[in-house]
A and B are shown apart, each in its own frame.
Chain A
Amino acid sequence: DIQMTQSPSSLSASVGDSVTITCRASQSISRYLNWYQQKPGKAPNLLIYGASSLQSGVPSRFSGSGSGTDFTLTISSLQPEDFATYYCQQSDSVPLTFGPGTKVDIK
């Protein structure tokens, strides 16, 4: 199985801040890396796929980068609606696996 790790596990930030979350795969997954946002009581919502492609309808302040084993999600100018938990997920091979999540809350 491909293990996914994320750092940090949580962070506090203010509206307007730039935030970066890191995801690491236990082996190379090329660019088969996706990012989701989840708010309490809701299903995850796709933000970024293929490491850096922005899903339709997702604000451009979200961006992704990386390949191989190391990836990042950046939120520039954090907005109130961005406070949520973020998960990375590898779609390179089964079993499909998710990172443990990064909770972004208000400072």
Chain B
Amino acid sequence: QVQLQESGPGLVNPSQTLSLTCTVSGGSISSNTYYWSWIRQPAGKGLEWIGRIYTSGRTNYSPSLNSRVTISVDTSKNQFSLKLTSVTAADTAVYYCARAQTPGKPFDSWGQGTLVTVSS
């Protein structure tokens, strides 16, 4: 049973870069049948897909965040990461990492989520 776990700072200063890592256990991130996503949820609001990465390195990003987002993968550590630059209070949210089995498939495994607050 694969497990995903987010980690990273819980507090980020405005205009700085938010950096999070998702560690995958119980399965290899290198499997070509999966892609790996970041999703966020502001308090009391809905879910917003941020982007995804294949282990080949190919990425897709949400157009609304595209200019500020980078998702990368480190297969040697079985991890993938999110960087979001120039953050504002509007980026305060619970950030989830999640797995889907090929395009078209649902998110079948999720991390527990990590709260990131943007504040000075």
Contact = CB atoms under 8 A, between A and B. Distances in A.
A62 interface: no
Given A1-B63, A43-B96, A43-B111, A98 B106 contact: no
A46 B104 contact: no
Chain A interface mostly: loop
Interface residues on B, range: 20 to 34
Contacts, number: 59
A87 B46 contact: yes
Residue from A50, A94, A96, A97 whose CB has the most chain B CB atoms within 10 Å: A96
Contacts of A100: 46
Interface of A: 1, 32, 34, 36, 42-46, 49-50, 55, 87, 89, 91-92, 94-101
Given A43-B113, A91-B100, A91-B103, 12 more contacts: A43-B96, A43-B112, A44-B96, A44-B107, A46-B106, A50-B106, A91-B104, A92-B104, A95-B49, A96-B49, A98-B47, A100-B46
